[in-house]
Amino acid sequence: MFTDSTVFVIDDDGHVLHALRELIESVGLRVRAFASAREFLDQYDPSEPGCRLLGMSGLELQRKLIARKAQIPIIFITAYADVPMAVQAMQMGAVDFLEKPFRDQALLDCLYRALERDQAIRQAAARKAEIRKNFEQLTPMERQVACRLAEGKSNKAIALELKISQKTVDFHRANLLAKMQAESVPQLVRLIVLAELL
């Protein structure tokens, strides 16, 4: 299910890093281990699917990833309860916050949730890119008609505004719906909103 995904484990404690790597590999997941946030950032590739497992010192790394607009699911692990830090990590988008000692299964459950989130994020990004590519195939006039349809304007109103006949609007509308792979104007509007084209 997650054959293309990698769990990136970042911890400055070599024993913890080794134990986590063994646990994660034992369930067939691919792992890359890093002794520091700097080491991870130096090798970071946003196109590589997966999730990140960090100690609480990873808050600064989380901020740096957010600054890079990286939508990476992150799980934090800490040896002590620090509620304000946990809240901060979750507000910044962390998937979970585990306090040591934790059950192996609890960590694995968190990892699976994070990997599922990563897949959903990547699928949504791919869908958005596909819609944008289709939109780029529209002629300038088809784009104008599409944007006005998305604003809720009727064919008649669009014809008046663009100073073209209603039949021409109908023609462009049929073409743009086909190119955008939309079966109706409401579906076209959903696609335009999803891809943030307006």
Q: How confident is the prediction along the chain (198 residues), in pLDDT tens digits per residue?
A: 677 899 999 988 889 899 999 999 999 999 999 998 889 888 888 888 888 787 756 788 888 888 888 888 999 888 776 778 888 888 888 888 888 888 999 999 999 999 999 999 999 999 999 999 999 999 999 999 999 999 999 999 999 999 999 999 999 999 999 999 999 999 999 999 988 887
137-194 is classed in which CATH architecture?
Orthogonal Bundle (1.10)
CB atoms within 10 A of CB 46: 11
Q: Where in the chain is the domain with CATH 3.40.50.2300?
A: 6-127
Token representation of residue 62? 């989380």
Provide the 3-class DSSP secondary structure of residue 48: coil
What is the location of CATH 1.10.10.10 in the chain? 137-194
The pLDDT, as a whole number, for residue 179 is 96
CATH code of 6-127, in short, is: 3.40.50.2300
Cβ-proximal residues to 81 (8 Å cutoff; 6+ apart), any chain: 99
Q: What is the dihedral of CA 151, 153, 158, 160, to 10 degrees?
A: -130
